[in-house]
Structure 1
Amino acid sequence: MTADELCALIFEVAEKTPEIGVLEESRKWGEQSFTPVRRNIGSSVRIQPRGNGDVALMFICHTNLVDEFRTLYPDMLSYEGNRAIVLSGEEANDRAALSHCIGLALTYKLRKRQRTRPT
């Protein structure tokens, strides 16, 4: 998957998930970064092209997002520490699993509030 294809997938996930709403695109640490415009909805996701043709989908390391993804998709995606899903430019990537992970990241803060809300 290329960086452009990943960018298109991020916008597709946001468009199909009403809770996310419109995304703000910016540059953080020299990487394309995507965050919901509405505050306190989700965590940012960044695209980091690699010199070997791979592309990393980067997440804020102090969240538990990559651990959550690893639990849901232990063998379907490749991970790098607690920061990234690494997509090979040469191999087929599981688009459904990747879309789900992007949606989880872009609704991270909303889901966290819902889990801690008293019933």
Structure 2
Amino acid sequence: MKNILLAGTMALFATGALAHSAMDETTPAHEAVLTEAPAEVVMNFLHDIRLTRVSMTHADHASVDLDLSAYKGMEIDFTVPMQPMGSGAYVIDWRGLGADGHAMTGSFSFVVE
């Protein structure tokens, strides 16, 4: 009986983990070194996610929220416009809700020389 309960519990946790939407890739790529600042960032996820916030921090400047108004529901691919701020390190932080309702967060960074 204990083995059945243990197997059932493990299956529930495994199913929940699969429902989360991991980041697949970004453009610019994480830790990329660029010669000029991009006008947008692209984020691709493995599964649907509803992004609730994307912010950008550049060098020593305060964080600014990027415009997500083009996205109202669950998506896999996001192209988010950003205001280039010249050379330096950029950090993009994101948060959202996976299809299963779990809160998710992540970040990636790149440098403009």
Q: If the length of structure 2 is used for normalisation, what is the TM-score? A: 0.27
Larger relative contact order (Cα-Cα within 8 Å, sequence gap ≥ 6)? 2
Between Structure 1 and Structure 2, which shows a larger proportion of helix residues?
1
Between Structure 1 and Structure 2, which shows a larger proportion of strand residues?
2
Q: If the length of structure 1 is used for normalisation, what is the TM-score? A: 0.26
Q: Looking at CA atoms only, which structure, 1 or 2, has the larger radius of gyration?
A: 2
